[in-house]
Homo-oligomer: A and B are copies of this chain.
Amino acid sequence: MIKHALNVTREANFAEWYQTVITEADMAEESGVRGCMVIRPWGYGVWERIQRLLDDRIKGAGYDNTYFPVFIPLSYFEKEADHVEGFAKEMAVVTHHRLIADGKGGLMPDPTAKLEEPLIVRPTSETVIGAAFSRWVQSWRDLPVQINQWANVVRWEMRTRMFLRTSEFLWQEAHAAYATAEQARAETLKGLEIYRSFAEECAAMPVIAGEKPENERFPGAVSTYSIEAMMQDGKALQAGTSHFLGTTFSSAQDIKFQNSEGQQELAQTISWGMSTRMIGGMIMTHGDDDGMRVPPRLAPWQVVIVPMLRDNDEDAALIEYCQGVQQELGKLQAFGEPVRALLDLKAIKAVTKRWGWIKKGAPIVVEVGGRDMAGGNVSVTVRTDLYKEDGKLNSQIVARDAFLGDVVGTLEGIQKTLFDQAKARTDANIVRDVTDFAGLESYFENAGKFPGWVEVEWSKPTGAELDKVVERIKALKLTFRNVSNDAAPATGTCIFTGAPAVERILVARAY
């Protein structure tokens, strides 16, 4: 039997396992500031990789990076009723701009430095970016405008969980304005496709891309699209959203242009965002009972070299040998970039380092002892193939040159294995043969600890009728996820209303 590196398994307690991975893999920690976390080096390193690869795709789609203020005046929110309704319950409000002594040895906001108009710490930037668009857009020649920003945002959350739901989080938000609704909707879907391809190709995370139902729309949006990923406990995680906003914000913010016939029109706007939540999704997609497994494309270090130092005269030669391996790795290309190899020279025991890197999920750990060096070898551990059948660690002694010859293929193999495992699990756990509400109840009653998702036919009710349906699934602790772009057409009746069905929607427990 295998003795795993973590003291809790996914099976035993998934929520505790998740927190344990975050701690043991050096991803993040509580900050002491309510609802906010400290993102530690390995976690932030993954975020930097996400930024680099996603940013390339965003720029490739013709977006320019920019930066807008963290503060949004209260009056900007007052202009768009639906939007403020959706966010007003969870915003940080700045009311003063100075502190003074409180007369008891402490500090307090200075009553004479109260802001005339409170400022909101941005929960999202449609309003302040819309105000800029209204300055930038005068004529059809100024369109499209396509910008992106990487920023921190704040939504006051009562119950927080690291990476998944924190009061402050990091994200990118892309915003664009177009002349026609058709173009704007098409570009909304392009944003969604960037997320789908990024999630699947870079994060090795299979997703369902599709449109959210009315009750799950972004406040102020005409349509919201999402990518949804299945975690190992069967729950759904919304990992990115793209919104067709129509003229909601252009009418509130006065984004008007003169069309080629000389008439004034409102621009059609869109926005799409992906956040540090993605990291939580990666942990729950790829992690195992030994810790995190980072897909090689997003690993800050793809290969970590650990010399078995012995505090003696041979150490210098051993380090030199390892540096040689590191240099050769840096000359190789995996996924179109130089291989990222770290030589870990920290003053801790080699075995502690090995397990540290396994828990962090470094794709390949290479250990080198004196005997390995003498034989021109290295000892290689691959994160997706950690144990032999007998439960012992599967470290293979191979010739240095053979390792260097194989390493790119090994990294590509790890990336593929992680995707394939997650894809097989997702595919095996989406049920499509439930044809009535009783069947839905019965599935979730009997599916065991980690139920999957159910795709059902529905009549796409709206307004009060939808509210009633939402109440019914909420009673089962279920939510609507999205209508997959790849869903089969509906052929029967709605399992909620009995009316003719118009599409197939995913129902699941969710983060």
**Partner-B contacts on A (CB < 8 A):** 29, 31-33, 36-41, 44-45, 47-48, 64-75, 77-78, 84, 88-100, 105-109, 118-121, 128, 131-132, 135, 141, 147, 151-152, 154, 156, 168, 170, 347-348
Residues of B within 8 A of A74 (CB): 99, 106-108
Q: Which of chain B's residues have a CB closer than 8 A to the CB of A44?
A: 64-67
19 contacts between A and B (CB under 8 A): A31-B131, A32-B131, A33-B73, A36-B69, A36-B70, A38-B66, A44-B65, A45-B64, A70-B152, A74-B107, A78-B107, A84-B107, A88-B98, A88-B100, A93-B96, A95-B96, A96-B118, A121-B121, A151-B152
Residues of B within 8 A of A107 (CB): 74, 77-78, 84, 88
Q: Max chain B CB contacts within 10 Å: which of A36, A100, A168?
A: A36
Minimal Cβ-Cβ distance residue in B for A39: B67
* A356 CB to nearest chain B CB (Å): 14
With a cutoff of 8 Å between Cβ atoms, the chain B residues found around residue A154 in the complex are: 70-71
By a CB distance below 8 angstroms, the chain B residues around A152 are 70, 151-152
Q: How far is the CA of A39 from the CA of B29 in the complex (A)?
A: 32
* Complex Cα spacing A90 to B98, Å: 5
A271-B45 Cα distance, complex, nearest whole Å: 21
Q: Is the CB of A109 within 8 A of B93?
A: yes
CB-based contact B88/A97 at 8 Å = no
User: For residue A66, which residues in chain B have a CB less than 8 angstroms away from its CB?
Assistant: 38-41, 44
Chain B neighbourhood of A64, CB < 8 A: 41, 44-45
- A168/B69 in contact, CB under 8 A: yes
Q: Please, which residues of chain B bring their CB within 8 A of the CB of A32?
A: 73, 128, 131
**Beyond A78-B106, A93-B109, A99-B120: 10 further Cβ-contacts under 8 Å?**
A41-B66, A44-B65, A70-B152, A70-B154, A71-B154, A74-B108, A77-B107, A97-B156, A98-B156, A108-B118
Determine the chain B residues whose CB is within 8 A of the CB of A156 once the complex forms. 97-98
Provide the residues of chain B in CB contact with A348, threshold 8 Å.
Answer: 141
Instruction: State the Cβ distance, A50 to closest chain B Cβ, in Å.
Output: 13
Instruction: Report chain B residues within 8 Å CB of A347.
Output: 141
A90 and B100: CB pair below 8 A?
A: no
Complex Cα spacing A131 to B319, Å: 35
* A301 → chain B closest CB, angstroms: 11
Chain B proximity of A168: nearest CB distance (Å)? 6
With A and B bound together, what is the CA distance between A415 and B189 in angstroms?
42
Q: Is the CB of A109 within 8 A of B98?
A: no
Which of B78, B108, B121 is within 8 Å of A94, CB to CB? Answer: B121
A26 to B, closest residue via Cβ: B64
Cα–Cα distance between A77 and B33 once the two chains are bound (Å)? 13
Chain B: which residue is nearest A89 at the CB level? B98
Residue in B closest to A67 when the chains form the complex, CB atoms:
B39
Q: How far is the CA of A416 from the CA of B74 in the complex (A)?
A: 48
- Residues of the B chain whose Cβ atoms lie less than 8 Å from the Cβ of A89: 98
Give the docked Cα–Cα distance between A413 and B313 (Å).
49
The residues of B that contact A108 with a CB separation of less than 8 Å are 74, 118
Interchain nearest-CB distance for A80 vs B (Å): 11
A73 to B36, CA, bound (A): 11
Chain B residues near A128: list those with CB within 8 A.
Answer: 31-33
Contact of A33 among B31, B33, B106, B119 (CB under 8 A): B119
Find chain B residues with CB under 8 A from A91 CB. 97-99
Taking CB atoms, residues of chain B closer than 8 Å to A109 are: 93, 95, 118
Given A33-B72, A41-B147, A128-B33, is A67 in contact with B170 using a C-beta cutoff of 8 Å?
yes
- Find the B residue at minimum CB distance from A100: B88
A94 touches B97 (CB 8 A): no
Nearest to A94 among chain B residues (CB) is B92
Which residues of B have CB within 8 Å of A105?
78
Within 8 Å CB of A77, what residues of B?
Answer: 99, 107
Q: How far is the CA of A217 from the CA of B135 in the complex (A)?
A: 41
